[in-house]
Chains A and B, each alone.
Chain A
Amino acid sequence: MTAYIIRRLLHLIPVLIGMTLITFSIVHLIPGNPAQTILGEAATQEAVKNLEESMGLNEPYIKQYGIYVTDLLKGDLGTSLRTKAAITKEIWPHIAATFELTFFAMLFAIFIGVNAGIISAWKQNSWFDFLAMLFALVGVSIPVFWLALMEQWVFAQELGWFPAYGRENSRDPIAAITQFYVLDALIHLDFPRVFTILKHLLLPSIALGTIPMAIIARMTRSSMLEVMQSDYIRTVRAKGGGQFLVIYKHALKNATIPVLTVIGLQTGVLLGGAILTETIFSWPGIGRYVFEAINYRDYPVIQSGILVIAFLFVMINLIVDILYTYIDPRIKY
């Protein structure tokens, strides 16, 4: 397995090079002059020209790319054109925020999705199966922003159970250590705060997790149905294994592989695509960070943001691949 992991890591090198090339080129295809945008509508032409020069925008692309990659290797993501702050420093809290949200959204999606799928498969064609699959259908078709707004309206405005925005009680901000607030609050042994943070997490997690939940439920169901019909399950049953044992121990493990793929893919999708949820719930995540950068043509931030998301996506795939071999030793690469 170690050899496999090393081989897999080596495969990452061309992927990463490709990624830097693509993010770099995409940015140069976007219309608009960044210097003008930074200086604002009232800037003089000369000021724009000076800034272009100091930013190296007049250099040939190849040279700009070379500088970019060299800096990346040094762990320097560059400086935001707009805020003039180091991106490495700026981006981390955003990554952490998105990670936390994605983690809880996937937790929600996996628990509800997997279990609903299992029960549906187990009680195939029952009313539960019917209802769960109907919900799953609605779940994949529901627009995220609509769900988020409805949640906000019902649970924040009308009922007042959950906060409408943010990660934390803004009047009493946490002294962040890791930027993962749940973790930070646990480190501080501040349990009321853990509770407050979980309350903030709940609505956006549900909004974000609904689509993956529905997909996972459907995938689990069909995968389980297939496995349940296989010979070895019949054998377990013949040996008199209880329903619970059959399903959760013997069937689930083999049904997990395709579900795991879906989970991996969906996690990646959520990481990059949480912009709407992040905007509606004022979640200071990476999606919003990049989105704002795009609005202002903040080239280095766009590059770094997309690169980081792509990198995380690749890493998640790597983890999923490694998990495959762990779950099903028959899988060899």
Chain B
Amino acid sequence: MKGKYAFWSILMLLFILLLAACSGDGGADPSASEEGNEAGNEEGTSEQKGSNAAGDQVLVYARGGDSVSLDFASISDGESSRVTKNIFESLLDYDKESFEVVPGLSHDWEVSDDGLSYTFFLEEDVTFHDGTPFNAEAVKINFERWADPKHKYAFTDQGYAYPLYGTMFGGYKGDDTHNIKEINVINDYEIEFVLKAPQGPFLQNMAMHYFAMTSPAALEKYGPDIGENPVGTGPFKFVSWSKNDQIILEKFADYRKEGLPKLDQVIFEVIPENSARLIALRSGEVDIIDGINPDDAAGIESEEGLELYVRGENNVGFLGMNVEKEPLNDKLVRQAINYAVDTEAIVEALYADYATTAINLIPPNYFGYNEEIKAYGHDVERAQELLAEAGYDNGFELDLWVMPVSRPYMPDPETVAEIVQSNLEEVGITTNIVREEWAPYLEKTGKGEHELYLLGWSGSNGDPDYFFDSLLHGDSIGGENRSFYKNNEVDELIDQAGAEIDQGQRAELYKQVQAILHEEAPGVNIVHSTPLAAAKSEVKNFIPHPSTSDPLEEVEIATE
């Protein structure tokens, strides 16, 4: 009978509800006991299901978005390299906490006096996860794959492209500006890179994770599916990937570094909501989370069993100006806006102390940072004087474009826009806030449809070149130079610094660049933020890297 059927169904449902509700504090819940068990045996063990034996070192790392592809060189997003960082290795690497270049797959390197030839001495007895040996030939194949769009492993027909290779090494094979002239295999463990012109940040670039080594055998085997089948030499090998959900890596037993990695398994989880991620950490479902609202930081810090981690400064959030548009083509007006915008108030209001007010474009911990430059500061009178001097006593109107997404350098762009708006109002500049979707935002600002705009930039190789050349070099107009700023003197200094291999000389050149930019004021530098991560106290040796790609080889889980 129908009635009975419905009745029993309700009863069943209530029963399930009740069971679920009761199990949390009891010991009978298998998922809770598994979690407790693997997180460090706090609760003792009960029935253990599945593949993980007791005592396993399994780390769950939760982040806000999924990886795009696990073929690192063909993408440029942080969520992808965060995973691939642990699967692949480059010839050079960065130090644990900074962008200082340290050995990677090559233990040593030599630079010729003219700065045109770099010889790398490779680690011997290294194998890829698929068992094939790593050698100079493999390095050559990887670089040729990125450099030559017609290479059989370039997969350009399948939509693969290697934008960062083009950016960092001046273009692709056949381009006049392509700076890598030839790659010579000297023997199995020695390889020489010959450049067309000296390149200051060359070693810095070589250490970028995007230029890490894939097994040539895997490129042959998987073809364009390589993006889902990564095979490297790193501490962890790839197991599986369910999209928008989790990526599982496991310990690579033959890893070249003795005794590493310490974890048996790393699971990268996607938890889009910041609040849910924090709840998952608190309830022990995950071990490390990234992307924390600055406002939640104080709570995490004071909470027993949790640890707050602060990444090094490696970005800038700014108010850019399209200097081709009137009246922003007037230096006095740009300086006036710099005086008018209260950057300190913005940083204080929105970053809960996890940021510093920016003075220059590059973060203060970068080499070549010009400490002699003093901030404009918030000075309404000076701003009004300058505007009057420029002939704008009666004020004017500007469009202010607000980015629609939050980024580590600007978690709340809307509020930044509102503060900027009221600051400018004080000096007689009316701003109309313009909102666009993210992709058209980038596209239209790239074409110069805007006047004022909010945006930022994160460093990826720790070199000032990556900031100045990308954002304010005349040649980058139409690309990242959305300020349409072109100054021959600045361009020349950036070019010189890029071609110089003496780091001291380079620093001097960048200091000059900053002095000019300060005077010319093509934008208002607002903030360098220090993005936050958190972990359970049981997680040891976790050192978040300023690049946001955290090496996990030394991380282990231990109870105190």
Chain A residues at the B interface, C-beta cutoff of 8 Å: 31-33, 36-45, 47, 50-51, 54-55, 79, 81-85, 90, 93-94, 107-108, 111-112, 114-115, 149, 152-153, 156-157, 159-167, 169-173, 176, 190, 192-193, 195-196, 198-199, 202, 244-245, 247-249, 252-253, 279-282, 284, 288-289, 292, 295-297
Q: In the bound complex, how far is the Cα of B66 from the Cα of A171, in angstroms?
A: 17
Closest partner residue, chain B, to A97 (CB atom): B245
Determine how close the nearest CB of chain B comes to the CB of A202; give it in whole angstroms: 6
Cβ contact within 8 Å between A171 and B6: no
Cβ contact within 8 Å between B439 and A171: no
Cβ contact within 8 Å between B439 and A32: yes
Contact among B6, B49, B276 with A115 in the assembled complex (CB-CB below 8 Å): B6
Cβ contact within 8 Å between A193 and B30: yes
From B129-137, B155-163, B418-426, the one touching the partner chain is B155-163
Cβ contact within 8 Å between B272 and A279: yes
Given contacts A42-B480, A43-B161, A157-B282, contact A167 B245 (CB under 8 A): yes
Cβ contact within 8 Å between A295 and B276: no
Closest partner residue, chain A, to B446 (CB atom): A36
Q: In the bound complex, how far is the Cα of B30 from the Cα of A29, in angstroms?
A: 50
Contact among B71, B75, B270 with A284 in the assembled complex (CB-CB below 8 Å): B270
Cβ contact within 8 Å between B166 and A43: yes
Given contacts A54-B157, A164-B279, contact A85 B24 (CB under 8 A): no
Q: In the bound complex, how far is the Cα of B69 from the Cα of A38, in angstroms?
A: 11
Contact among B3, B51, B77, B438 with A247 in the assembled complex (CB-CB below 8 Å): B3
Contact among B65, B275, B470 with A42 in the assembled complex (CB-CB below 8 Å): B470
Cβ contact within 8 Å between B227 and A47: no
Which residues 226-258 of B sit at the A interface, judged by CB distance below 8 A? 227-228, 240, 242-246, 248
- By a CB distance below 8 angstroms, the chain A residues around B13 are 107-108, 111
Cβ contact within 8 Å between B163 and A44: yes
Q: In the bound complex, how far is the Cα of B30 from the Cα of A36, in angstroms?
A: 47
Which residues 138-191 of B sit at the A interface, judged by CB distance below 8 A? 149, 155-161, 163-164, 166-167, 171
Cβ contact within 8 Å between A284 and B269: no
What 4 pairs across the A-B complex have the smallest Cβ distances? A248-B3, A32-B439, A284-B244, A172-B50
Closest partner residue, chain B, to A203 (CB atom): B20
Q: In the bound complex, how far is the Cα of B271 from the Cα of A279, in angstroms?
A: 8
- By a CB distance below 8 angstroms, the chain A residues around B227 are 83-85
Q: In the bound complex, how far is the Cα of B227 from the Cα of A244, in angstroms?
A: 61
Given contacts A36-B442, A45-B479, contact A170 B285 (CB under 8 A): yes
Choose among A40, A295, A296 the residue with the greatest number of B CB atoms under 10 Å from its CB: A40
- By a CB distance below 8 angstroms, the chain B residues around A40 are 75-77, 163
Interface CB pairs A-B, < 8 A, 25:
A32-B440, A39-B161, A41-B479, A41-B480, A43-B161, A83-B69, A85-B225, A111-B13, A112-B10, A115-B10, A156-B283, A160-B24, A165-B280, A165-B285, A193-B49, A193-B50, A195-B23, A195-B30, A248-B2, A279-B273, A282-B269, A284-B245, A288-B244, A292-B244, A295-B438
Given contacts A169-B35, A198-B16, contact A32 B437 (CB under 8 A): yes
Q: In the bound complex, how far is the Cα of B8 from the Cα of A111, in angstroms?
A: 11
- By a CB distance below 8 angstroms, the chain A residues around B167 are 42-44
Which residues 185-214 of B sit at the A interface, judged by CB distance below 8 A? none
Let me know if B89 is at the binding interface, CB within 8 A: no
Cβ contact within 8 Å between A176 and B242: yes
Q: In the bound complex, how far is the Cα of B283 from the Cα of A124, in angstroms?
A: 44
- By a CB distance below 8 angstroms, the chain A residues around B51 are 172
Contact among A37, A47, A171 with B161 in the assembled complex (CB-CB below 8 Å): A47
Choose among A93, A156, A165 the residue with the greatest number of B CB atoms under 10 Å from its CB: A165
Let me know if B9 is at the binding interface, CB within 8 A: yes
Cβ contact within 8 Å between B69 and A84: yes
Chain B residues at the A interface, C-beta cutoff of 8 Å: 1-3, 6, 9-10, 13, 16-17, 19-21, 23-25, 29-31, 34-35, 38, 47, 49-52, 58, 60, 65-66, 68-69, 71, 74-77, 149, 155-161, 163-164, 166-167, 171, 224-225, 227-228, 240, 242-246, 248, 267, 269-273, 275-277, 279-280, 282-283, 285-286, 437-440, 442-443, 446, 470, 478-480
Given contacts A165-B280, A282-B272, A295-B438, contact A84 B160 (CB under 8 A): yes
- By a CB distance below 8 angstroms, the chain B residues around A289 are 243-244
Q: In the bound complex, how far is the Cα of B246 from the Cα of A47, in angstroms?
A: 31
- By a CB distance below 8 angstroms, the chain B residues around A169 are 31, 34-35, 285
Cβ contact within 8 Å between A31 and B440: yes
Cβ contact within 8 Å between B159 and A79: yes
- By a CB distance below 8 angstroms, the chain B residues around A90 are 243
- By a CB distance below 8 angstroms, the chain B residues around A50 are 149, 156, 161
- By a CB distance below 8 angstroms, the chain B residues around A115 are 6, 10
Given contacts A170-B269, A171-B267, A172-B50, contact A249 B2 (CB under 8 A): yes
Q: In the bound complex, how far is the Cα of B224 from the Cα of A45, in angstroms?
A: 23
Choose among A31, A107, A253 the residue with the greatest number of B CB atoms under 10 Å from its CB: A31
Contact among A41, A198, A199 with B442 in the assembled complex (CB-CB below 8 Å): A41
- By a CB distance below 8 angstroms, the chain B residues around A149 are 275
Cβ contact within 8 Å between A84 and B159: yes
Determine how close the nearest CB of chain B comes to the CB of A212; give it in whole angstroms: 15
Q: In the bound complex, how far is the Cα of B244 from the Cα of A166, in angstroms?
A: 10
Additional A-B contacts beyond A36-B442, A90-B243, A195-B23 (16; CB < 8 A): A31-B437, A38-B159, A42-B164, A43-B167, A50-B149, A50-B156, A149-B275, A152-B276, A153-B279, A161-B24, A172-B31, A173-B267, A282-B270, A282-B271, A282-B272, A284-B270
Cβ contact within 8 Å between A159 and B24: yes
Choose among B3, B71, B267 the residue with the greatest number of A CB atoms under 10 Å from its CB: B3
Cβ contact within 8 Å between A196 and B31: yes
Cβ contact within 8 Å between B443 and A33: yes
Determine how close the nearest CB of chain B comes to the CB of A109; give it in whole angstroms: 11
